Amino acid sequence: MNKIAFMCLACVAFASPSVASTVSGSFDLDRWYAIVEGVRSRATSENISPEITDATLKSVALIPSILKSDKNQSEFKLTLDGYLQRTVNPTRISTGRRMRKTYPTLLSRVESRFGVPPHVMLAFWGMESNYGAVKSRHRLIDAFFTLMYDGRRETFFTNQLLALMRIADKNNLDINGIHGSWAGAMGHFQFIPTTLNQYGVDGDGDKRTDIINNLPDAMFSAGNYLNKLGWNKNERIVRRVVLPSDFDISMLDGKTKLTLPQWAALGVTNPDGSPLPSMDMTAGLVADVAQITQMRADAAQQSASAMDTDIAPMPVINAYLTYPNFYRIKRWNNSNWYAIAIAELADELH
């Protein structure tokens, strides 16, 4: 059987060899139909309307580029400094400040209802879609069917597709017009369908929730999500600090929790060398351990090749004390670097 890029349920359409060559191996038509019929069966059992089911299944495409993206996700990891330079950049900061002036009423409504301040909402919006400027090109039903066919996370993506069908059914949306990332995230805040199903909120009173084309819906949904995660607007996210050169790096994964006085006793200070606040607040501690390890190796190499009088002091080790809101961000995106970037961007937009 020829390799394919696209297929229609009414008729099987095979791709040209130039497109098809991006898919490795032969296309398994029986497996594809089994997936389609499985979706139809679940949609019926979950009372999704026949209209939405038919619209979903009438012209489904398998996208080779999505298979390629899923199998070849980059292993490259930026340093923390590099990540922050890329994500908390002057353009994103200036655009965020402009958006705060553009949507003061909407941001105030979100804060009043969900307790999430404007600068925090703007930070998430900027990080997730560059304030709505990043447009997703994949039809989500195609993305989900392609990833289901891929098989590595078939159950997960099947659940996402069914959630998307329920969203389209409930909100009278054209399911064939819903676009998102190749991995299934959509809208201003890049929600996956199951998250939207759980936390979506109608922000403008039109009795629909459309987080792609309707900014109030997107803002209210994101505010609701953060609220349900327990966001505390009276607490900061992180505190920048410096560490002694011989600090135990095993404590820098954010999992060790100590009070501020306990961290101070271990030599942690504010960046200017002043002592930490004496309040009895618990925090973790996060830093770029790989970078610190490299700094120590470089310093040791220099020391071994230099005269005693020429040995330079160990560079300052920068780190972040991480408060409860930091860990709430990690339930949104389980990345220390992402949570720190949200904190830094929010501070710039405060």
pLDDT of residue 35: 95
Does position 297 have pLDDT exceeding 80, yes or no?
A: no
Q: What is the pLDDT of residue 308?
A: 53
pLDDT tens track for 207-231: 999 999 999 999 999 999 999 999 9
CB-based contact 63:12 (threshold 8 Å):
no
Q: Is the pLDDT of residue 11 over 50?
A: no
Q: Where are the alpha helices (DSSP H) in the chain?
A: 17-20, 29-45, 50-57, 64-71, 80-87, 90-102, 104-114, 118-129, 140-150, 154-171, 193-199, 215-228, 260-265, 289-305, 324-332, 336-349
Q: Per-residue pLDDT for 7 more than 60?
A: no
Q: Is the pTM of this model over 0.85?
A: yes
> How crowded is residue 301: how many other Cβ atoms within 10 Å of its Cβ?
10
CB atoms within 10 A of CB 53: 19
pLDDT over 60 (residue 151) = yes
Determine the 3-state secondary structure of 236 from DSSP: coil
Amino acid 305: pLDDT: 64
Round to whole Å and give the CA distance between 147 and 177. 19
Amino acid, single-letter form, for residue 244: P
As a whole number of angstroms, the distance between CA 285 and CA 155 comes to: 36
Q: What is the pLDDT of residues 79-92, one digit of tens each?
A: 999 999 999 999 99
pLDDT at site 4: 39
Calculate mean pLDDT across residues 141-146.
96
Q: Is the pLDDT of residue 106 over 50?
A: yes
| The two structure tokens encoding residue 52 | 């939405």
Q: How far is the C-alpha of 330 from the C-alpha of 284, rounded, in Å? A: 13
Q: What band does 72 get if pLDDT is binned at 50, 70 and 90? A: low
CA distance 120 to 222: 11
Distance, in Å, from the CA atom of 7 to the CA atom of 37, rounded to the nearest integer, reads 15
Q: In 3-state terms, what secondary structure has residue 283? A: strand
What is the average per-residue pLDDT within 130-156?
92
Instruction: State how far the Cα of 83 lies from the Cα of 183, in Å rounded to an integer.
Output: 21
Neighbours of 304 (CB within 10 A): 8
